[in-house]
Amino acid sequence: MPRGWQKHASKHFGSKIRRGGSSHNDNRKCSTEQRVPEYGRKLKTSYQIDDEVMDYYDFVSFFEEYYDDEEYNQVDDNESNSTETSTQLSKKEEYCPICCEVTSEPLFNLMRNCNHSPACKTCYRKIYVTEAQKDVSNYPLTCFFPSCNIHVALSQLERHGLVKNDKERRKHQHLSAIASAYQKPDKYKLANCPKCDCGNLVRNQQKLHCRACSTMFIVLHDDKTQTESTIAVMEEMQNDKFGINDGWAECPRCKLLISKGYGCDHMICVCGHDFSWRFALDRKQRKYGATRTSTAIANAQRLNVEDS
């Protein structure tokens, strides 16, 4: 074994390291009797102190000089509290797909058979109650996603507390019945309850119980009488909140009697059909003649029935 092998094999092995020399001066050494003046403490045994260890002791003495134990614990408590608070906020705040905002309200699915993202109660009530009940064209209610046609039932709105009073419930039933009757005129007819004026869908029933107030009333299936009375009222009307009465016409798709007030000639029926008011007037004139009286309309309808 060559001389000096153990010296170069390990720094801390053998008696060579105690001789000193240039290789030994890079590191600092303390014996058991030597006292470190800047720290005021006695080191126990003879061991090697690297620069990293000395840097640690420098940090400890600096920290103890400027911070006491109470301040240190207070800093730890503040950091832990801020971490817990941020974690709780991140758990509570969720993204609503309707308003596109982060909300603290709990999100839920309105329909069980719809797999779209849940939304908050405020947005559900706004689109399905507050805004929907302003126009019958919003019915029947469907999922808020544009490509989803799953219908929203009244029981689902009531289950989640979106319909808050009896007035909103009756209006929902009335508008739903009107929309169904207008969209399928060959299948359904609309009969208003004589007590609460709520619309009810009718097929061939002679007696009907109102869905809103449970009142029973008799339904007369007389389309001619209903049409004539409606035309007579529309002809006598001069103006209303929608403007000057500009006559009446029929929707080209659902045959609903309509009247135009102020605005342009572009019409949108409650069944969703878009058409021109002038086109509807020309169509009525070709079908019933130039007169606007209800008697002439009734005579034209009778002639059509007799010819058929």
Average confidence score pLDDT of the chain: 71
What pLDDT shows up at residue 137? 81
Same domain, 113 and 152: yes
Convert the pLDDT of each residue in 65-97 to its tens digit: 555 555 545 545 555 555 555 445 445 678 899
Kindly state the average pLDDT of the residues 237-266.
78
Residue in 106, 198, 112, 115 with CA at minimum distance from that of residue 156: 112
Q: What is the pLDDT of residue 286?
A: 83
Q: Quick one: 228 and 298 in the same domain?
A: yes
Is 80 inside a domain boundary? no
Q: Same domain, yes or no, for 127 and 151?
A: yes
Looking at the fold, whether 59 and 114 belong to one and the same domain comes out as no
Of the listed ranges 85-89, 164-168, 220-224, 289-293, the one predicted with least confidence? 85-89
Average confidence (pLDDT) over 247-271: 82
Q: Based on the domain organization, do 246 and 284 belong to the same domain?
A: yes
The answer to whether residue 152 sits within a structural domain is yes
In the predicted model, is pLDDT for residue 292 greater than 70? no
- First-to-final CA distance of the chain: 127
pLDDT in tens, 35-50: 555 445 544 444 454 5
The verdict on 53 and 104 lying in the same domain is: no
More confident residue, 233 or 75: 233
Q: Provide the residue range defining the domain that includes 300.
A: 223-307
Question: Is residue 112 a part of any domain in this protein?
Answer: yes
* pLDDT above 90 coverage of the chain, percent: 14
* Domain identity same for 217 and 232: no
Residue 122 lies in a domain: yes
Residues 265-277, mean pLDDT to the nearest whole number? 84
Give pLDDT, residue 250.
86
Domain tally, the chain: 4
Residues 289 and 233 in one domain: yes
**140 and 216, same structural domain?**
no
| Whether the predicted pLDDT of 148 surpasses 60 | yes
155 and 206 fall within a common domain: no
